[in-house]
Amino acid sequence: METSRIALPIGTALDRFIKNNQDQFQYASGELSQLLRDIALASKVVNREINKAGLIDIMGAMGSQNMGGEQQQKLDVLANIRFTRALTKGGEACALISEETESYVDLNNQGKYVIAIDPLDGSSNIDVNVSIGTIFSIYRRKSAIGLPITEADILQKGEQQVAAGYILYGSSTMLVYTTGHGVNGFTHDPSLGEYVLSHPDMTIPEHGRIYSINEGSANSFADEVKEYLKYCKDNNYTARYIGSLVADFHRNLLKGGIYIYPATAKDVNGKLRLMYECNALAFIAEQAGGKGSDGKGRILEIQPTSLHQRTPFYVGSTKMVDQAVRR
Ligand code: FDP
């Protein structure tokens, strides 16, 4: 009997993949690799806690609000602690921008990288056992190591990202990331406690048939958005909206589609955050052959002026984004 039939290969573990591809990164000194490993480790801890939600008292609201005035869930706070702790201890990051904190956190160390993170995206889905996610962007600091962090280190355009990724806590848990050399996806094997390469070199179909948008707010969409939705229906596209950005994005990445969160009467600049939601996903979309736009131009070219800045967001298959924003 062939030995491969009794001992199937497990594939490439994330650590091995990061190490093998370290040379692709122009500042290949190992810190970025370590940073990705720190994020992966924290995500495994968060994953473990999410899997126990319902059994222990970590569901429901904290009774406090985040920067957007939204109710903080216990798991939002817990995930923020896990990622902050991992990145602080790792020593590679000098500053952390998070959805859960008003100002950036100066980690007061010699780290070369600035991290923007949404520790737990899709909060409204936590308590109902629906997919949620983590989104992260990694930038190189601009100021010299040893000097205080400056605004230029923090408010960088998305095109300055050196890596970005997300973790999807779904029917399986996946980590998907890019360092600007394509997109690779890893599935968590709970029995090994490892992320294993399952989706090498991911590409998004140029065109798709899925549109993802909260149509409950359609009365207050701009006419161009209403027209695009009509176009989707006239062409028999299918609507899919989980309400967790990471999960909606991931599905559309695999199958082809568009996710839209436009300006609404309630959120006149859109709801999503440029620095720790849209930039990372726009970078991944572009690396996979897709597009990310604010309705007027490329998301990655927007100069942020504040940490928690919001933006309208159109992301996904190139032809669909072009169609949606040309009106
Ligand atoms: P949530 O508020 O539940 O955290 O990041 C914000 C976000 O979720 C996205 O994940 C999601 O796509 C969107 O908001 C859902 O907003 P609506 O409920 O307004 O559709």
**CA–CA separation, 298 vs 304, rounded Å?**
13
pLDDT at 55: 72
62 C-alpha to center of ligand 1: Å?
18
Q: Which atom of ligand 1 is nearest to the CA of 244?
A: 10
How do beta strands 61-65 and 71-73 pair?
A: antiparallel
Could you tell me the pTM of the whole model? 0.94
Q: Which atom of ligand 1 is nearest to the CA of 246?
A: 10
Q: Which atom of ligand 1 is nearest to the CA of 118?
A: 5
For ligand 1, atom 18, the nearest C-alpha belongs to 243
Q: Centre a 10 Å sphere on the Cβ of residue 17 and count the other Cβ atoms it contains.
A: 20
CA quadruple 299, 300, 303, 307: dihedral sign: positive
Q: What is the dihedral of CA 88, 91, 97, 99, to 10 degrees?
A: -40
104 C-alpha to center of ligand 1: Å?
22
123 C-alpha to center of ligand 1: Å?
7
Residue type, 295: G
DSSP string computed for 72-128: EEHHHHHHHHHHHHHHHHH--EEEEEETT-SS-EE--SS--EEEEEEEEE-GGGGGG
pLDDT at 30: 82
**pLDDT in 10s for each residue of the chain, 327 residues:** 677 677 777 789 999 999 888 877 766 668 888 999 999 999 999 999 988 877 776 676 776 666 666 777 788 888 999 999 999 988 899 999 998 888 999 887 789 999 999 999 998 898 888 999 999 999 999 999 888 899 999 999 999 999 999 999 999 999 999 999 999 999 999 999 999 999 999 999 999 999 999 999 999 999 999 999 999 999 999 999 999 999 999 999 999 999 999 999 889 999 999 999 999 999 999 999 999 999 999 999 999 999 999 999 999 999 999 999 986
191 C-alpha to center of ligand 1: Å?
31
Residues with beta carbon inside 6 Å of ligand 1? Answer: 121-124, 214, 243-245, 271-272, 277
DSSP alpha helix (H) spans, 7-137: 14-20, 31-52, 74-90
pLDDT at 327: 63
pLDDT at 114: 96
246 C-alpha to center of ligand 1: Å?
10
pLDDT at 10: 75
